[in-house]
Chains A and B, each alone.
Chain A
Amino acid sequence: MVKGKITGIIANLLTVKVDGPVGQNEIFFVALDDGKLMAEVIRISGDTVFGQVYESTRMLKVGTDCEFMGHMLEVELGPGILSRNYDGLQNDLDKKTGVFLKRGEYTEALDEKVSYEYKPLAKVGDFVHAGDWLGSVKEGWIDHKVMVPFKLEGRWKVKSITGAGSYTIRQKIAELENDSGDVETVTMVQKWPVKRAIHTYKEKPRPFKVMETGVRMFDTFNPMAEGGTGFIPGPFGAGKTVLQHALSKNAEADLIVFTACGERANEVVEIFTEFPELIDPRTGRSLMERTTIICNTSNMPVAAREASVYTGMTIAEYYRMMGLKVLLLADSTSRWAQALREMSNRLEELPGPDAFPMDLPAIISNFYARAGYVVLNNGQSGSVTFIGTVSPAGGNLKEPVTESTKKSARCFYALQQARADQKRYPSIDPIDSYSKYLEYPEICDYLNAKLGSDWVDKVANAKNWVYRGKEASDQINILGDDGVPIDYHLTFWKAETIDFVLMQQDAFDKIDAQCSLPRQKYMMDLVTDVVEAAYNFDSFDQVAPFFKRVINILKQMNYAVYESDEFRKYEKEFRETLQERRVK
């Protein structure tokens, strides 16, 4: 094992003189009197290594011994990851002792003692490749696959396989042998370096399905593809966190990996407190059972914050290899970029814009590229859909993190301060936001097949009305209420109807928070009817009260159980009200 001694310390950056070969991004441990500190190599120059320590370096001294581990930052992958709360380095936070986080305390990611019900899926003599399924264990409600380790190259033959039964994670599941006669023992657990993507699938086609989120501004107006990428930039107070929580509660995914990266601890506490109480409508089980939290809040060590997004992504990729639909959320990727900036700064690298490292766009796009819909070797499919938030400095979308992310992510959900101030939630900008997936013929076909052949056109038409409404409102503000034709008011209020009924959604209302696709279509049809109709008004001041009534009734429908008597009652009232002014 390569050893070294510390020669310099600035904040959490160390220089270490080493006595042998070391690798870029290799993990090393710094010896303390009462434990050790984990660190990562980030630059090598001759026999001097620069390393970032994942914890506080207080009272660390030059001359202290370091031990190099010969591998990069790894996570342990195996049954027992679901519903855990990890820190950025995959320490199980619930296993840590005491109220305060102790420096140098590392805990096991998985439980060694728990037994899982296992059954084999492969037979002796089968030829297998990395990522192929050898067996299956029950982890909560999912069939957790025991896979051929991702690191194995080429073709392997199953030499022996353990029969069905109850086993712990470190017990032998299979023995594999390759053509050269190398033998590999497989257990339920394998390790994988977080900064490398898991590539052991057959192919990664373009996304062609829509990932339902239950949020109308996503599904109807800017649909997210299964295996797609998107990001949510927004100034503070615009509702980023509420939106991410809404997605994690309602999205139609098998699993949610939530990375709380450099944000408020109380927000994570909210998840800890609420999710176990909430029921996942698809499985009827606690929402926590499909959720894994990677929690590196703003006051936890900065270097581990960078690791946390990679840890989250690797866990998501691992479950994707089991043929599952995983939604990965990261709040917020700006804090990750800031962690990169702090280190780049200490390394005295020449800075890019706003002192961020020059390769920030490349780092961000590499990360987003790890998401995707994949076809596995056995023909099954899995996906990682990734949605990150961005916290632009001063709410200015022209800053480096937003701009870099815009180049990589396919969906853009811009939260707008003005909409948030008006309490129009979710405050996603109806005009600037987009989903590039609406340009994919596969996605349009998918939507039209599901929601009627004219669905995509209907959505485009509704967006167009919102745009015209904004123009009308600008004119009204300049010329005054009575300085414009009544039509302007009509256009404005038609746009308002779309905004209030379809675009706004109450994330705190039990019913409205989750809106199914059929329901979204139903309401879209009603609202299309409203905006395409002609009306008879004598003066402009009749327009607003009429549409306010219409909007109010339609909103009551949003709050009612879909297709219930209450829903029908409001619908009837809506149709009667519309007739009062409608001419065709």
Chain B
Amino acid sequence: MDKQAFQKVYTKILKLTKATCTLKATGIGNEELAYVDGRPAQVVKIQGEEVTLQVFQGTEGIATNSEVVFTGRSPTLKVSDQLAGRFFNAYGQPIDGGPEVDGQEVAIGSPTVNPVRRKQPSELITTGIAGIDLNNTLVTGQKIPFFADPDQPYNQVMADVALRTKADKIILGGMGLSNDDYLYFRNLFDNAGALDRIVSFINTTEDPPVERLLIPDMALTAAEYFAVEKNQQVLVLLTDVTLYADALAIVSNKMDQIPSKDSMPGSLYSDLAKIYEKAAQLPSGGSITIVAVTTLSGGDITHAIPDNTGYITEGQLFLRRDTEIGKVIVDPFRSLSRLKQLVIGKRTREDHPQVMNAAVRLFADAAKAKTKRDNGFDLTDYDERTIHFGADYSRSLLAIDVNIQVDEMLDTAWNLFSKYFSKTEVAIKQSLMDKYWKA
């Protein structure tokens, strides 16, 4: 780190813990960025002359006479069009061997959009995945996570979603990514020839966990540059927010805070909301959409992380393995897109809402029939037909490897309806039946 004239330098550390150090210093600002023995650190507490710093990389090997340099500012990112196509670490430094980015230096974690200046999200985002486009349609300016167990291919699904959307920019915030997954994203973006519209901020499992806390703010600062300054449609991918929350818990624990549910800090809701609420449809036409990943433990959504997330985000996409067809599907019961009403049947074909509801209702009947079958009860003819419909529907529409247009999804559903059911059993508005029923 180059020393500059206005920076304050100290060499006497009073207290050291695993993640923090305390020293006497004056004129220091809250949340100011500093370097302790060259390692980035941030002010988390000031008590009179005593300043406590959180050292992102941990304090191993730091001595009481190590040099502490205060920078006089909170963490920043240099933003410009040069960000496109580049890979950075949690501090916004290039990790792809390329040159430093030139641009305007802006503080990360900027204030929130005034609620009265927001616009109602209204633009459809298509992904080709029917479990999303048909049943849980996404809208620009929305924030939505995938809820998935660690063994499910959530990063692949998310990458598919990213590359198929027509977003102007895709910002990847990787928190605790395995090195393999990092290389997967890199190769995928490279091969897709999409590198020039992608910016990545990466913290891998090889990096210190506390550094992850900077990743969402870095990613969203970059996103705001493109959405606000350039009026672009920006898609932000955050994976895995559970690991981000774990890092919050580490810091809160080191700061002697009393944990609340599941050992998470009491401020978890606000901490997560600060990230997710950056999703917005801006008055100038730009937008920030956030698609995140929250890994679950054994499908448990009552754990504090998915639970708080669910209260913040506009729905969730729930991945699970359907044993009937042996594939991962987007669960139509536990998934929800709260904003889909704004676009379905309006930006998509008129029959979309009714077809979606009828198919999910019949799939629910299939689940009931399966329970009956498993409990050894006799099945009616209707039960048999719903079970067959369920398997077909799951395979041709819910599975995550589906990649078709919305109209084709609707036609597929109509085909399945007429294959297994009578018109009265499907119970869709007569006028739509007349127009779309496949004889």
| In the assembled complex, A581 has its CB within 8 A of some CB on chain B | no
Please name all residues of chain A whose beta carbon is closer than 8 Å to the beta carbon of B44 when the two chains form the complex.
10-11
- CB contacts (< 8 Å) of B49 on chain A: these are 62
Known A61-B29, A481-B377; judge A85-B115 contact (CB<8 A).
yes
Q: Report chain A residues within 8 Å CB of B308.
A: 393
In the bound complex, do residue A101 and residue B310 qualify as a contact, i.e. CB atoms below 8 Å apart?
A: no
Tell me, in angstroms, the Cα distance from A395 to B142 when the chains sit together: 24
A297-B277 in contact (CB<8A):
yes
The complex places the Cα of A471 from the Cα of B205 at a distance, in Å, of: 52
A59 to B116, Cβ gap below 8 A? Answer: no
B392 within 8 A of A: no
How many angstroms between the C-alpha atoms of A396 and B303 in the bound complex? 11
Contact with B along A257-272 (1 / 0, CB 8 A): 0000010111011101
Does B114 contact A58, Cβ atoms closer than 8 Å?
A: no
Q: Are B310 and A266 in contact, CB atoms less than 8 angstroms apart?
A: no
Which of A7, A101, A272 meets B111, CB within 8 Å?
A101
Which B residues are in CB contact (< 8 Å) with A140?
Answer: none
Nearest residue (CB) in A for B310 is A236
Q: Which of B28, B260, B282 contacts A99, CB < 8 Å?
A: B282
A99 and B46 contacting across the interface, CB-CB below 8 Å:
no
Q: Judge if B258 is at the interface, Cβ distance under 8 Å.
A: yes
Shortest beta-carbon distance from A266 to chain B in Å:
6
Contact A59 B46 (CB under 8 A): no
Q: Which residues of B contact A248 (CB under 8 A)?
A: none
- Please tell me if B64 contacts chain A, counting CB pairs below 8 Å: no
Known contacts being A85-B115, A273-B120, A345-B257, is A8 close to B302, with CB within 8 Å? no
Q: Hey, what's the 0/1 contact readout for B107-121 against A, CB within 8 Å counting as 1?
A: 101111111111111
> Looking at B48, B260, B278, B304, which has the most chain A CB atoms within 10 Å of its CB?
B260
When distances are taken between beta carbons in the complex, the residues of chain B under 8 Å from A115 are: none
Chain A 268-315 interface residues, beta-carbon cutoff 8 Å to B: 268-270, 272-273, 295, 297-300, 302
Q: A93-B114, A100-B113, A300-B112 are in contact. Are A265 and B277 (CB under 8 A)?
A: yes
Chain A residues with Cβ below 8 Å from B31 are 57-59
Q: Which of A120-157 contact B (CB under 8 A)?
A: none
Grouping DSSP codes into helix (H, G, I), strand (E, B) and loop, the B interface class, with mixed when no group exceeds half, is loop
Selected contact of A10 from candidates B45, B120, B283, CB within 8 Å: B45
Interface window among B79-87, B206-214, B264-272: B264-272
Say yes or no for B339: interface residue by CB 8 A criterion. Answer: yes
**Contact between A355 and B260 (Cβ–Cβ < 8 Å)?**
yes
Q: Determine how close the nearest CB of chain A comes to the CB of B320; give it in whole angstroms.
A: 15
* Chain B residue, CB-CB nearest to A332: B311
B326 contacts partner chain A, Cβ-Cβ < 8 Å: no
Chain B residues whose CB sits within 8 angstroms of the CB of A184 once the complex forms: none
Query: In the assembled complex, which residues on chain B have CB atoms less than 8 Å from the CB atom of A98?
Result: 114, 117
Partner of B116, one of A9, A93, A100, A396: A93
Give chain A residues whose Cβ lies under 8 Å from the Cβ of B282: 99
* Distance of B194 from chain A, by nearest CB (Å): 28
Chain A residue at smallest Cβ distance from B107 = A58
Q: Does B273 contact A (CB under 8 A)?
A: yes
Within 8 A of B (CB), among A68-123: 85, 93-94, 96, 98-103
Q: Which residues of B are found within 8 Å of A302, using beta-carbon distances?
A: 267, 270
Tell me the complex Cα distance, A394–B304, Å.
7
Query: With the chains together, A232 CA to B49 CA distance in Å?
Result: 48
A395 and B302 form a contact (CB under 8 A): yes
Beta-carbon contact of A100 and B73 below 8 Å: no
The distance in angstroms between the C-alpha atoms of A262 and B312, with both chains bound, is 9
- A60–B114 contact, CB under 8 A? no
Q: How far is the CB of A361 from chain B (nearest CB, A)?
A: 17
B58 CB, min distance to chain A CBs, angstroms: 21
Contact B32 A59 (CB under 8 A): yes
In the bound complex, what is the Cα–Cα distance between A315 and B108 (angstroms)? 36
Tell me the residues in window 113-157 of chain B with beta carbons closer than 8 Å to chain A beta carbons.
113-121, 141-142
Q: Is A46 among interface residues, defined by CB-CB distance under 8 A?
A: no
Among A94, A99, A298, point to the contact of B269 (Cβ < 8 A).
A298
The answer to whether A190 has its CB under 8 Å from any CB of chain B is no
By a CB distance below 8 angstroms, the chain B residues around A335 are: 269
Q: Which residues of B contact A100 (CB under 8 A)?
A: 110-114
Residues of A within 8 A of B336 (CB): 237
Residues of A within 8 A of B45 (CB): 8-10
Q: Which 3 A-B pairs have the closest CB atoms?
A: A394-B302, A298-B273, A59-B29
Mark A residues whose CB is within 8 Å of B: 7-11, 15, 56-63, 85, 93-94, 96, 98-103, 235-237, 262, 264-266, 268-270, 272-273, 295, 297-300, 302, 335, 338, 341-342, 345, 351, 354-356, 391, 393-396, 421-422, 480-481, 508
